[in-house]
């Protein structure tokens, strides 16, 4: 078992995200940014991608909710997630929400 048990693994994941959150948020925001140049042959490799600065605060907030869900359980953060999505839709619109989702998906696809 990784890190002793599932709860220990979750705590370790949150610790690692918390310890490097600025770089992780910037990395995730590449999903809503522009493709890098030169392009790389590996489909998930894009070290020259440019992050979307506009979505970084929202991505940061959503990752904080994800971390709390890892620690306290998904159900404990359902209301916070719904409220965050409502604010993002109201303040940024559907395109902005799509950019945040693209950022979170980008990170998920690359780190698991």
| Banded pLDDT at 100 (limits 50, 70, 90) | very high
Peptide bond into 50 cis (omega under 30): no
pLDDT confidence of residue 2: 54
- The Cα 39–Cα 110 span in angstroms is 16
Q: Provide the mean pLDDT of the chain.
A: 90
pLDDT confidence of residue 87: 96
**What average pLDDT does this structure show over 63-70?**
96
Helices (H), the chain: 6-19, 21-28, 56-72, 78-111
- The Cα 12–Cα 48 span in angstroms is 28
Q: What's the pTM?
A: 0.87
Q: pLDDT, tens digit, for every residue of 18-63?
A: 999 999 999 999 999 988 776 666 666 777 788 999 999 999 999 9
């Amino acid at each position: 078992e990784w890190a002793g048990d599932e709860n220990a693994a979750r705590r370790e994941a949150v610790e690692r995200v918390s310890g490097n959150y600025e770089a992780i948020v910037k990395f995730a925001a590449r999903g809503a940014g522009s493709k890098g140049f030169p392009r790389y042959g590996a489909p998930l490799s894009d070290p020259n991608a440019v992050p979307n600065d506009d979505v970084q605060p929202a991505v940061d907030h959503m990752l904080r909710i994800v971390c709390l869900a890892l620690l306290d359980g998904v159900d404990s953060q359902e209301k916070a997630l719904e409220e965050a999505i409502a604010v993002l839709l109201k303040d940024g619109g559907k395109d902005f929400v799509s950019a945040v989702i693209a950022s979170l998906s980008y990170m998920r696809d690359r780190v698991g």
